[in-house]
Structure formats: C-alpha cells, structure tokens
C-alpha cells in the first residue's frame, strides 16, 4: 500500500542505513572541474604562410589553451607563437601528405589578442584554439597520444589514452587532407570545425577539435570523427587535461577589515597563509581566484582587479574619494586553491564628515563603541574586539578574536598595577627575641617586605634576624637571643595586581631543603630571604642561599653546620619584570667573579644575591654584587679563602620603574655615609637595599674569632630624603677599624597605570584584553552561561568603600547570562586579575531568573548590583534584582514584568529607573529598595537601552521607546509617576537607538541617519546621513564631545565630527 504518491516507503529504521549506503556510493567530485570556456579558429585560410588565430573569448589567467594546427605538406616546419608548447605532432606521409600538431599554453594575465603560427611550406592550413578553465597549471597534460590514418577514408580515429587521474578533460584533434565539415566523435562536443578551403573541396585540409569530460581514471577508448565527404588520409590526437585538485577548503582570513580615510583605504586581515585581495567598484558576483592559478597584483579576474597578493597582514591602497570600493579577500593554500572569500565595502571621503569609517567584514556593528584616550573599542557580529585610533580610524592592534558575536558594549577598566605605597620605618631589637611592628593594613598577596640590618655582634644568636609580614598589619622580627642591639630598616611595598607574593617561614632541617610553591613564572620572579640561626660564632651555616629550582620549588641551602636555622622567605612575581637568574661559584682563591648576562637597561635593573659558603670567615663570606655593565655582573669580596656558591637574580622592571645604584666605600673609621641620588625618588614609592641579601657589602676584615663580627659589612639603607640615601653600619670593627664596600640599589616603583577592555560574547565567554596590546590577559568560559549578551560592568576596588576593600582584594567584573532557559540565569562576579569566579548569583538556580540583556548598574555607595531580567515564560518571575556585591547575596527582587534594558541610577544616587517591555517605567528608591512612585509611568512601548538623566536638571529623563519615540520626561519625586501623556516633549524617530546625551541628544535610526535633538525643546534639529544612508544606524558614543561614533548594520563604524554638518 502506498498512501503517499511519489513517496518512498521503508520500514522504520531503514532510512539511516539507506542514507549511509547512499553516501558511501557517492562519486567523489573534483574540487575544481575543468570547463570548456570558448574556442577561436580560422576557416578558409588557404595557403597563407601563417595562420593568425584570435584569443578565445573570455580567456582568463590560468586557462589552458589547446591549439590545433594542421598544414600541408607533412614536411612543413611549424613555428608556434611564444608560450605554446608542442604536445603532439602527427606527420602523415601517406596519400595527400599533411601534418597535425597540438600545442598547449597556460594563459597569463596579459595574453595577446591573436596568435600567429607560421609555416616553412604550405599548400593549405587550418587551425583553432580551445580554452579550458580549471586545468592544472603546473602539469596541464595528463597524457596524450596520436595516430595516423594512412588509408583514404572519411572516418578518422584519435587513439585511446589511459588517464591516471580522475575528472580529466579529454580533448581530441582530428585532421584530414580535404576540405569539409566534421561530425564529432560520439559523446564529445565539437569546439571547432574549420577547413582551409570553402567546403566541400577535395583539396586543402580540415580540422576538428572536440572535448568531453571523463570522471574515472583509465582508458578513454578511441574517438572516431567523420568527415562529410572527400575521403583522404589524416590523423587524430588525443590528450587529457589534468584537473586542479584542491584539498579541504581553506579558511577565510580570521578577520578582514578596512579603514577608509581621505584618498586611501587601509585593508587589514589575519591569515597564516598568503592572501589575494580583489577590488571592484560594484558588488561582487562570482569573481574569485581560479583554483590552481597564482595571482599577482593588477591581475584581473572578470571585473575585479587583484590589489594585493602576498603574505602581509595589511595593505594601504590609494582610492578616490566618494567612490565605493568592494574588496574581497581569499586565503591561498599551497595548491594553490582559495577560500570562499570574505568581502566588505569602503568609501573614502575627503572629510570632515565622516572623518573616517571602519568596516569589519562578517556582520553588523551597531555599537558606537567605548572611546577614550585616543582609542575607540568596539565589537561586531564578526566576533572580534577592535581598537581604533579615534583620529584616523586605523587599527591600534590586531583585533582580538572572540568565539561568538560581542553585542554588548565593552567595558573599560583601569588596571590597578604598579606601586600603591611604600611604608617604612626603623625597628630596634634590644632585649627582644621577637618584635612585632605594626603597619598600616596591606594586601599580603601584593606586598613585599624589604629589610636591611645593622648590628654589632659576634654571635648569630643575637645578630641574625629574620623578618616577615605575619599579617596585613604586622611585621614580625625574630632572632634567637635577647641581647645586644640590632637595628632593622624595614620597607613594605604594596603593589597592585601586577605583583603577587608567596611567603613562608621554614625551619631548615636539611641542606638543601625544598619548599613547594604555587607555580611561578621564572622569568618574572625573584626571591628574598632572611635568616635566623643558633650559634655563638659565625660559620658556614650562618649564610643561607635561597633559589628557585623550578616553577614550583624553592630551595634553601647552607654550608656545613647544624640544622637549626629558620628562613623567612618571599617569592615575588612581578608581571612587569624581566628576571634573569643564575648560579655562580666564587672559588676559594678568587676575590671576584664576572658573570655575563643578556643586556639590560641598568637604569631599570637591580641585583639580589644569596649564597652558601664552605668555611668560616667574615670577609671571605661577604660578597658585593654589582651590575658593572649592561651585560656584566661582578661579584667580589675583600678576603679569599672560602668557596661561595652564589645564586643571583637580576630584575629588570619594564613598567616605567627606575633603578639607581651605586657603591659607597666606608673608610676604616666610618659608620655612616650618605649617597646623593642623581634623580629624586618618591619616599612612598621607593625602596633601598644592598645587593648582598639586602643588607650585605664586602670587607677585607677576615673576622676570625673572637672578632667575627658581620656588623662591619652589614648596612641599613635608609632613604632620608628624595635624593638622600643614608647607609649605616653598627661597627667599624676593632681597633682602627676596617673598610667596607656597600653596593646599593634604590628602586623607585612606577604607578604603572594601564587599562583593559572586557566584554562577553554569545558563546558565554568573557574576554579581558590589555588596551595597550590587544592581548587577551584571560578568557573565561562561564559554566552555565549560554551567552553573555548584556554589557559587562565592574566594581573598581580603588573607587569602592571600605567595606568592599575589606571584602575584595581586586576589582570585580560582572557578567550576566542570556540562557536558553527562562529560569537558570546567573550573574557572575569575576576577579579582574584572572577571571576567577568570586561568586555567582543563582548558580544553583535558587531563584527563577530569566535572561539578562541590559547592563547591570553598579551602586558603589551601597555595594549593590542592579540587574534587570526578563520575567520568565509566565511573565511573573522576579525581573529586577538587587545583589550585594560583597558576597553575591540577594538584597531584593521585584517582579516588574519583562525587563530588557539596563537599570540606571540618578546622579544623586537616590533613584533607579527601569522600563519593561510593556512600556511601564518604574522608579526604585535606591536607599529603601522599594518602589519610589505610587505606580508606574505608562509609556505604552518598551524602553530601549537605558534612561539618561539630565546632567543638570534632577529627574529630567531622556530615553527612547521601541515604537520610535524619543522622550523627555520629568520625575517629580516620590508619589505619582510622571504622566506619560504629557511629557516634557516626545519626538518620533524611526527605530530610534538609545540616545547619547551631550549638549544635544544624538540618536541613531533605522532611516540611515543620526538625528540631533534639542534636549530642551525636543526639536529634531539636524540629521546626518551615515554612509549611503541604507543601513540602520546604531547607538552613538563619543570620546570628548567633539565627535560621535556610530555603527551600522553594514558593519561599519563612522567617526562624525560635532556639531553635525
């Protein structure tokens, strides 16, 4: 039974099987089929000494031209035009002797209009040329063969050839020594059919060219052509053209963009492979590079011209202002075959309006972008984050590829990097073995303790002091004994997120002893260590070396002795540092050692060294480390006799921090010396220390018992002024004293301001990019997020109140989800430094939360995030959410219907405005978190984007609604809502975007224009047609109110000066 005419009926489950079988039987298709393009031939050329054949119509670069030339007699010499290569020639000596020759040529971009073959002798000739596209340019002919027909006949056979590749084009050439027309071999298409004399004629000769495709490799069989009359002798030639075989289709450039400036267009793209760019002045049709053909600049492909072919990633092209150019970029693979191509159009204008335009191929760009400090950052449906120079529209950096479209406005965040502050002080231990030094609260993860020491003591019990930040408000200094005075200069440098510190206190019970670390970047990390030890005299075990032996291991070691030491250590990673490090040995008999290093800028570089010794002594165990040239370190000491194993860290700061260094020589009687710094430093941004484990210099004092007092070469480094470094030692040694050398460094840390932009895409990822380079510092794929449609927002710690600073160690970024689900959406708080989730609101779907598409509003005063969502399938779910940013808890929620806008707060921070899709505008008291108005203002249409409040008139609100109205409404405070029936004004603008409020309101429109509206009267004062006016214009933005930036559905961003022309 067949219930359904023209149907196939099968049993359940059979379809997949059938489909699979069908798929398996499919014949593989050539990637680039050979096609006959056209032919040209000369009929009745008689006995001319040459034959001139036109170039086949439409011949394009890369076409393979097959020429058939026939001549009588068989002994005639045939001279081919330049570029043609003989494929086969058959000379027939039987009957009316003649010759048939076949030539081939790969067409260039500049083929002549005609081709001339000349003959040494001639009693008749004829010929023609066939052009084929899609044939392999390197080896066009797969196989060829010829055969003579010696008997007089009207049927002539071109021989069989055996092709070795699939999808060939079989071409045959037949000739006989009479003049008449032909019937092509069965299954072949006749391309040319000419004779030397008017037909029919028993004299002269005739030529036939035919072709057919052959899918499979193998024997072609013979091809018999039939002449109409006048039997005679002749010949046949068969050849097979080899197709271009492309591999997998190459991917288009990762992006393709253009900046149109006056008189030129700058094209940008990204591809690891060469690119061919075509240009037209009309939209592209089928113009594309042919498979197998290589192109050069100025080649033509149909109506298109190759304007670039090569491996660069940009090119600048002269262009005529006012002309719209279409560009299409193709990636070329090794064959060469080409990608599908991606196109855009650009129209340079003389300016000033627009000043420039920028187009990203691949989708709409409706955000005006985020502009400031000379750059505008935006994104498009082409899945890229873009930074453009606001002055000329050129790309600041290669666009950052995102997984999916980024439609929400990007967010700009100053990066909290560089030095925050340096606290410093002097602590004196007299009878204490433990001394706590209170400090102002610091972030332990981003703070570094530098300490230098002076003392006058001969036993480690009392003289060896270690120091550590034991809490956010405390430095703890420890020694074993409780006698004699030790003075410690401490400096606590606190940084932004560019610095991270691991620290610990380790009892060293072995040598070496290893301590596990969280992985560090060795190229950005160095170690600081201080050391406490038991003992009454100084020996080899009183000197400790700390070094990183891997990214996760810190090693301590010291010379032979007891294992009763304790190390306070800090492993400091500075993002803005480039650290070289190494081990070196100062041999027992050596007083100095030179170590080559990769060149450094000595004004930005400091040196820190620690070591082990194999013997006792003061002078032999005290090393001075200096940077003696950009490529050289020198370690030296005043006395030899012990073998020292050094580990050094050479730290170059790349964030604008500066380093001053020097050596101060202490005479025999000198305890204090002040060095004048060439450049002033900030006393709250600079630290000073010695190179020898922060405190040590060198001395010639051998320091043997009972005078082994390290105090002769231990120094306190104290910045007593912006240009004064005071160095103190506690003893000059016994008798007349000893000299000492103090190699010091003063590091003035930079505040290193930086910035980032970040945003979410429709794949649920958040991107955080450095505005200086465009590099993505991190990307977070948010689990549970189908898409991030809403613009992200942030809470910057530096601008936040104490409660937030206490709760958070970093800036927070907020990203809200746009899920398929109407109930499981979330709001993520991400740590700015690495994207880690600090909290996620509704991560367990405690609340029924529909998707969020409007920018969340950050209330810094109250540490609250206002989030607007839709209201679920029912429309009754909560839709306005107030979230505590300290912990992600819910403060309050409101069921206000579907909200697809951003909540916005009044300038006085008392009121939050939000409108739903039904056109109801609500005001919420930000303090009481209750509705401010007794009802809502009924606008009758959904609010678009967000609500602006006037800069000077409290409660004056500007916004647009989905029905194409731009509004000005006055909020008169608590009580009745504004009467939407009598607004301050209302103006119709088709498809109005969210307005930009400057001195005027600027609104993008579906009518292709930007409208300038007087905020006082609502008069639509000016309209500026953007581009050709055919595309919808998006939401405007500005950098400094002297211009606006607007995007369009066509994927173009325009810079338009203000006032509008």
Partner 1 sequence: MRLPRRAPIVALLVSALTALTLVGGSASAEPAPVVVGIVIREVGRTFAIIQDSTTSKPGFYEVGARVGSSVVTQILADRVILDAGGQQTQLRLATSASAAGASSLGVAPTVRNEAGGDRRAARTSSVGPEAQESPYGRIAAVVAAAGGLTSGSNAAPGGSGSDMGGVGAPGGPAASSEGTQNGVSAALTLTGRLHDGRSQQADEFSTTSLRDLLISLIYTNSGDLHQQRIELYAPDGSLYQRLTGAMAPRTQTLVPVGGTWITEHSLFGGWRVDVFVDRETSPIVTQAFTLTP
Of the candidates 361, 320, 331, the one whose C-alpha atom is nearest the C-alpha of residue 344 is 361
Nearer Cβ to partner 1 (7/110) = 7
Nearer Cβ to partner 1 (569/768) = 768
Q: Is 223:158 a contact under the CB 8 Å cutoff? A: yes
Q: Is 23:15 a contact under the CB 8 Å cutoff? A: no
Nearer Cβ to partner 1 (62/764) = 764
Instruction: List the alpha helices (DSSP H) in 402-467.
Output: 460-463
| CA gap 643, 645 in Å, rounded | 7
Helix (H, G, I), strand (E, B) or coil at 445: helix
Nearer Cβ to partner 1 (566/1032) = 1032
Nearer Cβ to partner 1 (1/82) = 1
* Burial group, residue 851, by CB count within 10 angstroms (0-12, 13-18, 19+): buried
State the virtual CA torsion across 858, 859, 863, 867 in degrees, nearest 10: -50
For the CB of residue 370, give the shortest distance to partner 1 in the complex, in Å.
16
For the CB of residue 354, give the shortest distance to partner 1 in the complex, in Å.
17
For the CB of residue 275, give the shortest distance to partner 1 in the complex, in Å.
10
For the CB of residue 988, give the shortest distance to partner 1 in the complex, in Å.
13
The total of other beta-carbon atoms located within 10 Å of residue 618's CB is 27
Of the candidates 541, 753, 743, the one whose C-alpha atom is nearest the C-alpha of residue 660 is 743
Of the candidates 884, 887, 921, the one whose C-alpha atom is nearest the C-alpha of residue 904 is 921
Nearer Cβ to partner 1 (437/992) = 992
For the CB of residue 765, give the shortest distance to partner 1 in the complex, in Å.
8
| ∠ CA 395-1051-405, rounded to 5° | 85
For the CB of residue 959, give the shortest distance to partner 1 in the complex, in Å.
13
Q: Is 493:528 a contact under the CB 8 Å cutoff? A: no
3-state secondary structure 255-319: CEEEEEECCEEEEEECCCCCEEEEEECCCCCCCCCCCCCCCCCCCEECCEEEEEEECCCEEEEEC
Nearer Cβ to partner 1 (237/344) = 344
For the CB of residue 95, give the shortest distance to partner 1 in the complex, in Å.
47
For the CB of residue 270, give the shortest distance to partner 1 in the complex, in Å.
4
Helix (H, G, I), strand (E, B) or coil at 621: helix
| ∠ CA 848-853-856, rounded to 5° | 85
Nearer Cβ to partner 1 (311/428) = 311
For the CB of residue 850, give the shortest distance to partner 1 in the complex, in Å.
8
CA within 13 Å, CB half, 198: 0
Nearer Cβ to partner 1 (529/992) = 992
Give residue 77's Cα distance to chain centre. Answer: 63
Nearer Cβ to partner 1 (531/828) = 828
For the CB of residue 777, give the shortest distance to partner 1 in the complex, in Å.
7
Nearer Cβ to partner 1 (454/848) = 848
Distances (CA, A) of 609 to 657, 691, 743: 20, 6, 12
For the CB of residue 253, give the shortest distance to partner 1 in the complex, in Å.
7
| DSSP-assigned states of every residue in 93-106 | -SSS-EEEEEEEEE
E-only strand ranges, 481-534: 486-495, 499-508, 513-516, 525-532
Nearer Cβ to partner 1 (31/949) = 31
Region for 1050 from its dihedrals, namely left if φ exceeds 0, alpha if ψ lies in -120 to 50, beta otherwise: alpha
For the CB of residue 1049, give the shortest distance to partner 1 in the complex, in Å.
4
Distances (CA, A) of 173 to 77, 133, 151, 242: 19, 18, 18, 17
Across-strand partners of 565?
508
For the CB of residue 820, give the shortest distance to partner 1 in the complex, in Å.
3
For the CB of residue 1035, give the shortest distance to partner 1 in the complex, in Å.
8
Nearer Cβ to partner 1 (276/742) = 276
Nearer Cβ to partner 1 (955/1047) = 1047
């Amino acid at each position: 039974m067949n219930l359904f005419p023209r149907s196939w009926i099968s049993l359940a489950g059979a379809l997949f099987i059938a489909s699979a079988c069908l798929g398996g039987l499919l014949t593989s298709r050539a990637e680039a089929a050979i096609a006959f393009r056209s032919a040209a031939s000369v009929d009745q050329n008689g006995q001319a000494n040459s034959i001139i054949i036109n170039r086949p119509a439409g011949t394009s670069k890369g076409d393979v031209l097959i020429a058939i030339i026939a001549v009588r007699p068989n002994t005639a010499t045939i001279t081919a035009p330049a570029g043609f290569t003989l494929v086969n020639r058959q000379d027939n000596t039987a009957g009316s002797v003649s010759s048939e020759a076949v030539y081939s040529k790969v067409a260039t971009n500049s083929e002549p209009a005609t081709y001339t073959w000349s003959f040494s002798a001639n009693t008749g000739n004829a010929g023609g040329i066939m052009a084929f596209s899609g044939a392999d340019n390197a080896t066009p002919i797969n196989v060829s063969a010829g055969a003579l027909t010696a008997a007089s006949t009207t049927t002539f056979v071109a021989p069989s050839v055996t092709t070795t590749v699939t999808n060939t084009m079989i071409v045959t050439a037949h000739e006989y020594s009479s003049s008449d027309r032909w019937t092509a071999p069965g299954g072949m298409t006749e391309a040319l059919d000419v004779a030397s004399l008017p037909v029919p004629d028993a004299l002269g000769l005739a030529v036939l060219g035919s072709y057919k495709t052959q899918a499979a490799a193998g024997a072609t069989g013979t091809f018999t052509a039939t002449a109409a009359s006048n039997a005679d002798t002749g010949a046949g030639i068969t050849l097979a053209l080899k197709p271009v075989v492309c591999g997998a289709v190459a991917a288009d450039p990762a992006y393709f963009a253009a900046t149109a400036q006056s008189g030129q267009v700058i094209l940008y793209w990204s591809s690891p492979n060469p690119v061919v760019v075509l240009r037209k002045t009309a939209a592209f049709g089928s113009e594309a590079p042919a498979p197998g053909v290589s192109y050069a600049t100025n080649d033509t492909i149909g109506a298109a011209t190759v304007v670039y072919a090569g491996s660069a990633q940009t090119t600048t092209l002269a262009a005529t202002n006012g002309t719209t150019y279409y560009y299409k970029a193709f990636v070329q693979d090794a064959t060469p075959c080409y990608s599908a191509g991606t196109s855009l159009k650009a129209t340079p204008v003389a300016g000033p309006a627009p000043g420039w335009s920028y187009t990203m191929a691949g989708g709409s760009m409706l955000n005006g972008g985020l502009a400031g400090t000379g750059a505008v950052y935006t994104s498009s449906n082409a899945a890229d984050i873009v930074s453009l120079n606001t002055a000329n529209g050129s790309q600041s950096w290669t666009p950052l590829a995102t997984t999916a479209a980024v439609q929400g406005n990007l967010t700009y965040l100053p990066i909290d990097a560089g030095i925050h502050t340096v606290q410093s002080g002097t602590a004196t231990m007299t009878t204490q073995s433990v001394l706590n030094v209170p400090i102002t609260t610091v972030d332990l993860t981003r703070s570094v303790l530098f300490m230098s020491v002076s003392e006058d003591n001969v036993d480690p019990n009392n003289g060896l002091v270690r120091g550590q930040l034991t809490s956010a408000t405390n430095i703890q200094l420890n020694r074993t004994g409780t006698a004699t005075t030790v003075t410690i200069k401490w400096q606590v440098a606190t940084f932004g997120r560019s610095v991270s510190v691991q620290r610990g206190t380790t009892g060293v019970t072995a040598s070496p002893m290893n301590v596990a670390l969280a992985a560090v970047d060795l190229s950005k990390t160095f170690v600081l260590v201080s050391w406490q030890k038991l003992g009454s005299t100084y020996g080899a075990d009183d000197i400790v070396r700390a070094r990183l032996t891997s990214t996760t291991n810190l090693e301590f070691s010291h010379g032979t002795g007891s294992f009763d030491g304790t190390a306070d250590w800090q492993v400091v990673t500075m993002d803005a540092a480039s650290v070289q490090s190494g081990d070196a040995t100062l041999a027992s008999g050596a007083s100095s050692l030179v170590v080559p290093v990769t060149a450094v800028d000595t004004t930005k570089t400091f040196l820190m060294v620690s070591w082990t010794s194999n013997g006792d002594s003061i002078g032999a165990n005290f090393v001075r480390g200096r940077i003696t040239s950009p490529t050289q370190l020198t370690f030296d000491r005043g006395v030899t006799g012990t073998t020292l194993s050094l580990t050094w860290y050479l730290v170059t700061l790349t964030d604008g921090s500066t380093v001053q260094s020097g050596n101060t020589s202490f005479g025999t009687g000198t305890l204090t010396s002040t060095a004048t710094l060439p450049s002033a430093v900030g006393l709250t941004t600079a630290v000073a220390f010695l190179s020898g484990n922060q405190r040590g210099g060198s001395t010639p004092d051998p320091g043997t018992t009972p005078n082994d007092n390290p105090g002769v070469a231990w120094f306190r480094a104290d910045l007593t002024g912006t240009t004064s470094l005071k160095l103190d030692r506690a003893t000059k040694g016994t008798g007349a004293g000893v000299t000492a050398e103090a190699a010091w460094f003063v590091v003035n840390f930079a505040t290193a301001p930086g910035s980032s932009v970040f945003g979410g895409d429709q794949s649920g990822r958040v991107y955080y990019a450095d505005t200086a380079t465009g590099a993505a510092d991190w990307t977070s794929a948010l689990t549970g997020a189908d898409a991030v449609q809403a613009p992200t927002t942030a809470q910057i710690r530096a601008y936040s109140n104490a409660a937030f600073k206490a709760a958070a160690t970093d800036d927070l970024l907020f990203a809200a989800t746009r899920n398929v689900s109407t109930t499981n959406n979330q709001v993520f708080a991400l740590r700015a430094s690495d994207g880690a989730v600090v909290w996620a609101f509704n991560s367990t779907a405690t609340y029924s939360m529909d998707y969020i598409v409007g920018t969340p509003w950050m209330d810094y005063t109250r540490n609250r995030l206002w989030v607007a969502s839709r209201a679920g399938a029912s429309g009754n779910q909560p839709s306005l959410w107030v979230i505590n940013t300290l912990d992600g808890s819910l403060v309050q929620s409101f069921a206000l219907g579907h909200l697809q806008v951003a909540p916005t707060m009044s300038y006085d921070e008392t009121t939050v405005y939000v409108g739903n899709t039904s056109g109801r505008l609500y005001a919420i008291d930000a303090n009481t978190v209750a509705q401010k108005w007794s009802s809502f203002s009924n606008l009758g249409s959904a609010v678009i984007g967000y609500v602006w409040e006037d800069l000077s008139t409290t409660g004056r609100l500007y916004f647009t609604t989905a029905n194409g109205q731009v509004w000005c409404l006055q909020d008169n405070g608590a009580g009745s809502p504004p009467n939407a029936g009598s607004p301050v004004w209302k103006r119709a603008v088709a498809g109005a975007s969210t307005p930009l409020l400057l001195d005027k309101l600027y609104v993008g429109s579906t009518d292709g224009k930007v409208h300038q509206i007087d905020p006082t009267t609502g008069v639509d004062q000016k309209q500026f047609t953007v581009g050709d006016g055919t595309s919808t214009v998006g939401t405007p933005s500005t950098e400094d109110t002297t211009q606006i930036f607007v995007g369009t559905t066509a994927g173009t961003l325009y810079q338009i000066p203000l006032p509008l022309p």
